[in-house]
Amino acid sequence: MNPTNIRQQYRHIRRQLPESTQSLHASLLKQNINDLLGSPKALKIAAYIATQGEISLKPWIAENKHHQIFLPKLYEVNAPELRFAELTKDTQWEKNRFNILEPEASWENTLLPQQLDIVLIPLVAFDREGHRLGMGGGYYDRSFAFRLTQKNNSQPKLIGVAHSCQEYPQLSQQSWDVPLDSIITEKEVITSEPGTN
C-alpha cells in the first residue's frame, strides 16, 4: 500500500474505535508512560490534545504532578514550525487553523523543540523500526529535523504514542522523516530497532 492509502485506512481505523475502547486505552497508556519515564528527575515533556481518534493523554496529564508539560503551537513565520507552550492551571485556549486546541501564549513564552527532554508524538501509523506516518503536514518532521544530523546527542527523545491497532508491518521512510526512539501503546513500550525489519 502507498502512504496515501495507509494514511486513509489507518485514520479510519483510529476514528472507528468506540468511546469505551478509547477510555480504556487512555488509562492503560497512562501506566505505560509512567513505566517508561520512571524518572525521579523533573522533565520538560511535550504532549498533545488528542483529535480524530488519537489515543488520549488526558488521564496521564491529569495525574502528572512531577513533570513540566508543554503543548505544541503551530507557527508559519517563514516555514511551518512547532513551538511548545507550557500547560498550567491558568492556561487559556485558542484553536489553530486545523481546529486543534492550543494554549494561548506569546511567541517569547514558548520553547524551541531543542529545549524539550521528551516529545510525545501522535501518529497515524507506526512500525517497529520507529518509522512514523503522521497527518501529512510535515510539522513534526520539520521541527525535529535537527535530530537527523546531530551526532552523539539524541535529545529530545521522540516517543510515538498510538493505539496498538495503528501498527503497520513496514512503513517506507522518506529522507525527511525523523524516526522515533520508541513507541508507547496501550499494550506495550516498543524500543525502535532500526533496520531489523
Shortest-Cβ-distance residue relative to Mg ion: 177
Residue 133 burial by Cβ neighbours in a 10 Å radius (0-12, 13-18, 19+): buried
Nearer to ligand ATP, 93 or 176 (CB): 176
Nearer to Mg ion, 30 or 132 (CB): 132
Give whichever of 61 and 119 is closer to ligand ATP, judged by the CB atom: 119
Q: Closer to ligand ATP by CB, 59 or 138: give it.
A: 138
Q: According to the binding rule CB under 5 A, does residue 177 interact with Mg ion?
A: yes
**At its nearest, how many Å lie between Mg ion and the CB of residue 114?**
19
**Least Cβ distance, residue 43 to Mg ion (angstroms):** 25
Terminal Cα distance for the chain, rounded: 17
- Window 91 to 130, contacts with ligand ATP (CB under 6 A): none
Binding pattern for the stretch 124-163 against ligand ATP, x by CB under 6 A and - elsewhere: ---------xxxxxxxxxx--x------------------
Could you tell me if 181 and 159 are in contact, meaning their C-beta atoms sit under 8 angstroms apart?
Answer: yes
Question: Which of 136, 135, 158 has its CA nearest to residue 145?
Answer: 158
Residues 57 and 185: their CA atoms lie apart, in Å, by 11
Query: Least distance (Å) from ligand ATP to the CB of residue 27?
Result: 25
Nine-digit cell at 35? Answer: 513505566
Rounded to an integer, what distance in angstroms lies between the CA atom of residue 10 and that of residue 37?
28
Say which residues have a Cβ less than 8 Å from residue 39's Cβ, sequence separation at least 6.
none
Binder of residue 140, out of ligand ATP, Mg ion, none (CB less than 5 to 8 A by kind): ligand ATP
CA dihedral 180, 127, 175, 51 (to 10 degrees): -70
Query: How many residues belong to the site for ligand ATP (CB under 6 A)?
Result: 14
Instruction: Enumerate binding residues for ligand ATP (CB under 6 A).
Output: 133-142, 145, 174, 176-177
Instruction: Enumerate binding residues for Mg ion (CB under 5 A).
Output: 141, 177
